[in-house]
Amino acid sequence: MISPEDSVIEILQQNGIDMVATLPCDRIKNLLPLISKNFFEIPLTREENGIGICAGAYMAGGKPAMVIQSTGLGNMINALESLNVTCNIPLPILASWRGVYKEGIEAQKPFGEHLPGILDGAGLAYTIIDNQDELYLLDHAILDAFKNLRPHVILFSPKVWECTTCVAWSEKKLVAPEERSINLTFKSTTREPQMIRYDAIAAIVPLLDDEIVVANIGVPCKELYALRDRDLNYYMFGSMGLVSSIGLGLALKSERRVVVLDGDGSLLMNPNALVAIARMNPSNLVVVALDNGAYGSTGSQETLTAKFLDLELFARGCGIENTVKVHTKEEVENALSGALGADRLTFIHVVLKPGNSDSPNIPLTPVEVTERFMGALRC
């Protein structure tokens, strides 16, 4: 008899899933090695990061899914609502449902027991698979996600795996941390900033040709639209912190060069994005960190980069080797020109003054932006 783990793999393959973002759970420890073996896997350190990566991959023509523990859904709901639901981006989410069946960890129970009601309240589609005989429902849920362009959560009861014959976890060799030495030489000076963010974006847009550009939520999107609207621009309307995650997903599934216009507040909200970017090391990705030391779209409240944290050093610490710090229009132009001409992951740290332009709102809906963007990627 085929194991439930093998059945899940077969259903994912039959539905054309080509990328799986994962976070582990003890109940699916035999499934996870099969995911690694059969799919392009993105190991995550935080669930929201996976939402952004999968959204970018989908828009570039991929068919991603996530495999997580159900507790992670508590971290994901706002991003699912403000990105996937708002922009009609599908995502099947296979979740090991904790807290409801033979649960030995008391802390799992409050969220797990209320999870169906939470998903109902959020208006998110979900399917409960209570035992192995109901695995066919996974196929229906994946079809629903991509047909109706929405996220669909599949809650797997631990009962599904109780009688498994799969021993993939015990057969997998446990890997200890590799022996390695780190010799980081970093000398950098942050000079007095000369530009506001609008000036930096104005220096960037004349250099663009057929690159994909993903712009951070809020004022940066409005400034990019005002300076140079393009079908290959992706403007974010929600999901704060996920712009570099989306850029990573696009870079992994597209041959085009991808330029991400991120910000200090956004990067500090989702530092996991740089960790994943460094790990995957896409040579066609350029992350431009527009650092004005402030949450620019909410009143320019101070961020940690104003006095305490250097984003270029942080990117180096995450494992991105090719970084540069710039302060002037000419330095921005030289750094981006070099990055666009190189076949190498690049992080450009742009030091800026706080301040916003008076750029108007973007006269497009999130769905219109997404559909226009995906159409341009197919050309």
* CATH code (residue 248): 3.40.50.970
Establish how many alpha carbons lie within 13 A of residue 146's alpha carbon, considering only the half-sphere containing its beta carbon.
17
Quick one: 245 and 293 in the same domain? yes
Quick one: 270 and 155 in the same domain? no
Residue 183 clears pLDDT 90, i.e. is over it: no
45-54, 145-154, 180-189: least confident range: 180-189
Q: Is residue 182 part of a domain?
A: no
pLDDT value at residue 186: 85
Quick one: 24 and 162 in the same domain? yes
**Mean pLDDT, range 57-67, rounded to an integer:** 98
Residue 206: which residues within 8 A CB-CB, separation 6 or more? 228
pTM over 0.95: yes
Quick one: 275 and 223 in the same domain? yes
pLDDT value at residue 67: 98
Number of domains in the chain: 2
Name the average pLDDT for the chain: 96
Quick one: 166 and 202 in the same domain? no
pLDDT value at residue 176: 86
226 contacts 199 by C-beta, under 8 angstroms: no
Q: Is residue 188 part of a domain?
A: no
Quick one: 163 and 243 in the same domain? no
Separation of CA 134 from chain center: 30
Q: Is residue 190 part of a domain?
A: no
Q: Is residue 184 part of a domain?
A: no
Question: pLDDT tens digits, residue range 196-244?
Answer: 999 999 999 999 999 999 999 999 999 999 999 999 999 999 999 999 9
Quick one: 220 and 347 in the same domain? yes
Task: Compute the distance between CA of residue 99 and CA of residue 71 in angstroms, rounded to an integer.
Answer: 9
Quick one: 250 and 355 in the same domain? yes
pLDDT confidence tier of residue 46, bands split at 50, 70 and 90: very high
Quick one: 307 and 268 in the same domain? yes
* Domain hosting residue 237, numbered range: 197-378
Question: pLDDT tens digits, residue range 281-336?
Answer: 999 999 999 999 998 888 889 899 989 999 999 999 999 999 999 999 999 999 99
Residue 1 clears pLDDT 80, i.e. is over it: no
User: Residue 333 burial (CB < 10 Å; 0-12/13-18/19+)?
Assistant: middle
Quick one: 231 and 365 in the same domain? yes
pLDDT value at residue 178: 86
Query: Of all residues in the chain, what percent carry a pLDDT higher than 90?
Result: 91
Quick one: 11 and 160 in the same domain? yes
Quick one: 242 and 160 in the same domain? no
Q: Is residue 187 part of a domain?
A: no
